[in-house]
Amino acid sequence: MIQIQNLTKCFENETALSDITLTIPDGEVFGLIGTNGAGKSTLLRILSGVLRQDEGSVRVDGEAVWENEKVKQTIAFIPDEAYFFPNATPREMAAFFAAARDAFDFERFEDLTRRLKLDPARPIRTFSKGMKKQLAVILGLSTGAKYLLCDETFDGLDPVMRQAVKSLFAGDMVERGLTPVIASHNLRELEDICDRVGLLHKGGILLSEELAGMKQKLHKIQCVIPDAEKEKEMLTALSPLRTVRQGQLMMLTVRGTREELLRTVDAAEPVFSEILPLSLEEIFIGETEAIGYEVRDILG
């Protein structure tokens, strides 16, 4: 389990992460979502032991990560732009990782390159961006690390390959209890794979919950309320995160369970009402708009 307590990280005069407290349980896929510059990559780099936090603690299975060889053996970091040595082949990169990681599995590496149709003897410089991403994933999985930290790993992969990688993750989770931590902007991808999501915004954590539970607590309501007074009472009771009107049709993003919301809406005697679950993307937009990060503001 990864436990982050009051984590703060500053770069010169900029605060990248501020007082983050987060727990990532074992055996689940943890999605790290956030606005641009929210600190997702910074958090992953701290988790992997590349960066050192200014304040707070990061513990993996109860031990601090920084300069801890034993703990770092259990963590593999796949950065947004993985570096490969000039003129190196996938096999040479594997040899490099194998020299530093006692659990590196060459057979797994050979097997994965065969399955993903990557030539392990071909110079990496001749690979496309997507192929390099695949190689980074293969190397990460071959390390045998318990925690796989992926920074925008699915970007650049074609849909078929995304599914293949997801399958690999799922297989490793079942077989050896892999815990992938995936930072991404692609919320639809995360929605399919993540069990739990952490939402970062401007260096702070907005929420961290199970995705299913999150979806049960946040809903979208479409309704038409003929009585203005009752509509006002309903809005006061619901405190919507987001309100959009199209003629008489009102679309609200609100917190609460489906039953609670149904009771409140019915009390307003609507001529039409519907309660829908939110997608992860809508949850993200709703939560960030609630704290003033609106698309309208960005576009002016």
Partner 1 sequence: MKSGISWGKLLHQFWKRQTWVFALSCTGAFLSWPVLFMMQLSNLEETYARQGYRLPLKEWLSRAVCNSLGSGMHGCVIAFGAVVVAVLAAWCGFAALHSREKTDLLHGLPVRREKVFALKTVIAALDIAVPAAAGCLCVLILAAARGLMSGELIAAALRAACVCFVYGMATWATAALAMLLTGQLLVGALGTAVLVGIGPLLALLCKSYAETFYSTYYPASRFTEGALWRYTSPVLGALYAAASGSPLLPAAALTVLLLALALAVYRIRPSEAAGRAMAFRLPAEGIAVVLCFTGAIASGIFFRTAGWTQSDPWFVFGLCFGLALVWAVVRVIYTMDIRRVFTHGATLALAAALTCAFAAYFRLDLAGFDAYLPVRDSVRSIAVLPGAEYEMLDSSVKWQSRLEHTGLGCDDALYAFLTKLTAEHEKNGDGSTELPDNGKPTDYRVPVVVRVELENGRWYTRCYWMRFSDVSEEMASLYGREAYLDALYPIRKLEDEAVGGLSVESSCGRSDPLTLRYDREAIGRILAALREDCLTLTPESVKTQAPAAVIHADLDLSPLGLETDRTAWIDEEGNPERYIWSESLIVWPGFTHTIAAIEAAGIEIGAHPSANSIREVTVYDNGQEETETFTDRETLEKLAPRMVIREAVTRWMRIQTDCFASAALRTGQGFMEYQDFMLLEDN
Q: Which residues bind partner 1 (CB under 8 A)?
A: 11-12, 45, 48-52, 67, 69-73, 75-77, 79, 81-83, 85, 95-107
Which of 56, 235 has the CB closer to partner 1?
A: 56
The phi and psi torsions of 202 (rounded to 5 degrees) equal: 50, 45
The distance of closest approach from Cβ of residue 157 to partner 1 in the complex, given in angstroms and rounded to an integer, is 19
Which of 22, 139 has the CB closer to partner 1?
A: 139
Which of 79, 120 has the CB closer to partner 1?
A: 79
CA distances in angstroms from 63 to 2, 67, 144, 241, listed in the order given: 9, 11, 19, 39
The distance of closest approach from Cβ of residue 87 to partner 1 in the complex, given in angstroms and rounded to an integer, is 11
Q: Are 2 and 147 in contact (CB under 8 A)?
A: yes
Which of 131, 225 has the CB closer to partner 1?
A: 131
Long-range CB contact pairs, 119-124, < 8 A, 24+: 119/90, 120/89, 120/90, 120/91, 120/94, 121/89, 121/90, 121/91, 122/89, 122/90, 123/87, 123/88, 123/89, 124/84, 124/88, 124/89, 124/90, 124/93
- Tokens for 74, please give them: 């259990």
The distance of closest approach from Cβ of residue 237 to partner 1 in the complex, given in angstroms and rounded to an integer, is 47
Which of 71, 165 has the CB closer to partner 1?
A: 71
CA angle 97, 50, 48 (to 5 degrees): 70
- Tokens for 282, please give them: 């809508």
For 12-50, list the strands marked E by DSSP. 14-24, 30-34
Which of 109, 284 has the CB closer to partner 1?
A: 109
Task: Report the relative pairing of strands 55-60 and 63-64 from DSSP bridges.
Answer: antiparallel
Which of 18, 222 has the CB closer to partner 1?
A: 18
The phi and psi torsions of 3 (rounded to 5 degrees) equal: -120, 125
Which of 24, 265 has the CB closer to partner 1?
A: 24
The distance of closest approach from Cβ of residue 26 to partner 1 in the complex, given in angstroms and rounded to an integer, is 19
The distance of closest approach from Cβ of residue 174 to partner 1 in the complex, given in angstroms and rounded to an integer, is 21
The distance of closest approach from Cβ of residue 30 to partner 1 in the complex, given in angstroms and rounded to an integer, is 18
- Tokens for 273, please give them: 């009402």
The distance of closest approach from Cβ of residue 129 to partner 1 in the complex, given in angstroms and rounded to an integer, is 14
The distance of closest approach from Cβ of residue 24 to partner 1 in the complex, given in angstroms and rounded to an integer, is 18
Task: Report the relative pairing of strands 196-201 and 30-34 from DSSP bridges.
Answer: parallel
- Tokens for 20, please give them: 């983050």
What is the DSSP-derived secondary structure letter of residue 279? Answer: P
